[in-house]
A and B are shown apart, each in its own frame.
Chain A
Amino acid sequence: MPLGYLLRRLTVFLLIVWVAASVNFFIPRLSGADPVRERLLQMAAVGGTGTGTVEEVVKSYQAKFGLDKPLWQQYLFYLADMVRFDFGVSITRFPNSVAGMILDALPWTLVLVTVATLMAFAIGSLFGALVAWPRAPRFVHVLAPPLLTLSAIPYYLLGLILVYFLAFTWRIFPLGGGYKVGTQPSWSWAFIQDAAYHSILPALSIILSGVGFWALSMRGMMVTTQGEDYVTFAEAKGLRPRRIFLRYALRNAILPQTTALALALGHVVSGAVLVEIVFGYPGVGNLLYQAIRTFDYPIIYGVTFMVIVAIGLATLILDLLLPVLDPRITYHRT
């Protein structure tokens, strides 16, 4: 892989990280007020049991961000903190570090989103390719309209419907959570089984409403690909239909689809965050939800930053995989 390509992709990744960090720094300052400080003062005013703690938080907060320094210095300090994943401490659960809380929640989200997204992508792409293929079995065309309709429903609303029927009414799956109440996360086989069981419904809502989306764009790509000369020539070569479908049509149509996956990740994760809330799933979505309800800003900013970085990383991985799939890429892309 040429160095130039690698450097370009890395630059994009760093750009994403920088945007993520800057959003968190500038948006609050654009509002004129400092929401974190306001929130702290508000808590101090309410007083009650934790007055002493609040003062501690205020002190650590002021020292950390150097609020007496000029803006550009604050910005640089801030960027340095972000790069070291130092998001400060939680306001409502002082002195828990935000990074630690995110680290506890992130694996849940990562596994759920990665598995569900890849499955939706694979099933949807294959399905869409079949829809566009003249020799496809009949059931493909029967299934297409309902799947496309499902794709118009946001993940979490589909999740709500699934919970009502499959968990609440028929009691096939648990109502929510990441694992059985009363157990502690561990690497035991029983726990992993339990966690997988709890993740089926959240994953299903992401997959079901994602399949239609991928199917639709894949169908468009396949229609284009089938008009290509190399498919006609492959037919003239007397290849078996299955080989033409897999190695010529689908193999080429999947390339732009992979680029689309990189672009859709942000959208997918947004949806997954809301799915977690519906299911009370112990990932970053739920952490964010709790933080929003208590206006725990360090957590909101921390989660936003970490999720964006994770997506940037995933995009980077996809970008580095792309040349393996498409030998032309290092020549064509600029």
Chain B
Amino acid sequence: MTAVPLSLEQAQDRIGRVLRGLRTYPMLSAGLMLILLVLLISLIGPLFVPREGVQVGSAPPDQRPSREYLLGTDTVGRQILAIIIYGTPLTLQIGLIAGAIGLGVGMIFGFVAGYYGGALDHLFRGAADVFLTVPGLLILVVIATTFKGAVSVMTQALVVSALAWMYPTRTIRSQVLSMRERGYVQLAKLSGMSGPEIIVKELMPNLLPYLAASFVSAVSAAILASIGLEALGLGPQNEPTLGMTIYWSLYYTSVLRNLWWWWSPPIVMIVIIFVGLFLISAGLDQVANPRLRRAA
């Protein structure tokens, strides 16, 4: 598409269409709003809150929220507000990287298993099922404790991505399986298109809502796994990710010492992120599967 400047009416029309779309899918739009809110906090926050706040000893320990320390401080003198503002994007980053890797691998496995079937299908589906059955967190613990040392945000994302591919593999495989026999795919086959060509040109565009929903749930699963690992102390030790904040607050028994301002903000952020991602993926499901819309 060439970049033709939009007239005012055209722009209005486009905005109108988007707004109507949002009204048709309230779950999707509510989810997008929540995630947008989280992104805004992590984009605008740094303009007002200096990064020094996340450093140990940058403030007196165990301060209640006050005008000076808006969300209070923790036992080692870090400011909770700064932790939230600088930690949230790290957690999102881990989720996005791991989710993207998971979706990528899942797409390859899913398309190949669903389209070609046979032994490849057995192999990939079997692997996905076995690894889905296994508690991912424990495998990740084994990996993380083995490669202990200075974990960075990137290595954390890579570790988590090791188990982010199964769910996308399963969904994509079953969708491809149901599409493989449809008319237009058969037609493409007859017209001499190759397997990879059909996958890219015919299957992928039709699976777009499913792929999007798969990506969102892969991101959500990756964030869940990552904060789970971090809550066990197996995360980037020197970064203020949301999961590490939970870990330290558990480590210093913040609940029993009534330091509610320490453990509750990361939980609130995590809940917003999960609810937002959940709503987006449920909304995308509605887009992909109109049957659910009626029953909503």
Contact = CB atoms under 8 A, between A and B. Distances in A.
Instruction: Answer whether A and B touch in the complex at a CB cut-off of 8 Å.
Output: yes
Interface of A: 12, 15-16, 19-20, 23-24, 27-28, 30-31, 35, 132, 148-149, 151-154, 156-157, 160-161, 163-164, 168, 175, 216, 219-220, 223-224, 227, 262-263, 265-267, 269-271, 273-274, 277-278, 288-289, 292-293, 295, 297, 300-301, 303-304, 307-308, 311-312, 315
Contacts of A175: 256
Nearest to B122: A334
B245 to A, nearest CB: 12
Contact of B255 (A148, A163, A274): A163
Interface of B: 126, 129-139, 141-143, 145-148, 224-225, 227-228, 231-234, 246, 250, 255-256, 258, 260, 263, 267, 270-271, 274-275, 278, 282, 291-292, 294-295
B231 A270 contact: no
Contacts of A16: 130, 133-134
Residues of A contacting B: mostly: helix
7 contacts: A15-B126, A15-B130, A19-B130, A153-B267, A153-B271, A269-B138, A295-B145
Contact of B132 (A15, A266, A288, A312): A266
B142 A315 contact: no
Candidate in B135, B224, B256 with the most chain A CB atoms within 10 angstroms: B135
Contacts of B256: 168, 175
A300 B132 contact: no
Nearest to A29: B146
Given A23-B142, A292-B141, A300-B141, A308 B228 contact: no
Contact of B138 (A157, A293, A304): A304
A161 B265 CA distance: 12
Contacts of B133: 16, 262-263, 265-266, 311-312, 315
Contacts of A265: 133, 135
Given A154-B224, A292-B233, 12 more contacts: A31-B147, A35-B145, A151-B278, A227-B291, A265-B135, A266-B133, A267-B136, A295-B148, A297-B145, A300-B141, A304-B142, A308-B135
Nearest to B289: A220
Contact of A12 (B130, B135, B139, B292): B130
B280 to A, nearest CB: 12
Contacts of A35: 145-146, 148
Contacts of A15: 126, 130
A153 B274 contact: yes
Nearest to B270: A157
Contacts of A161: 267
A15 B122 CA distance: 14
B134 A311 contact: yes
B260 A270 contact: no
A164 to B, nearest CB: 5
A300 B145 contact: yes
B138 A308 contact: yes
A223 B271 contact: no
A128 B231 CA distance: 31
A24 B142 contact: yes
Given A270-B137, A273-B138, A157 B132 contact: no
A293 B134 contact: no
Candidate in B146, B227, B250, B295 with the most chain A CB atoms within 10 angstroms: B146
Given A23-B142, A223-B292, A267 B148 contact: no
A160 B265 CA distance: 12
A222 B258 CA distance: 44
A21 to B, nearest CB: 12
Nearest to A149: B275
Nearest to B275: A152
B258 A160 contact: no
Contacts of A156: 228, 231
Nearest to A223: B295
Nearest to A308: B134
Contacts of B260: 164
Nearest to A273: B137
B242 to A, nearest CB: 10
Contacts of A274: 137, 228, 231-232
B132 to A, nearest CB: 5
A27 B138 contact: no
Contacts of B267: 153, 157, 160-161
Nearest to B225: A270
Given A24-B142, A35-B145, A295-B145, A152 B274 contact: yes
Nearest to B232: A292
Contacts of A300: 141-142, 145
Candidate in B133, B227, B274, B294 with the most chain A CB atoms within 10 angstroms: B133
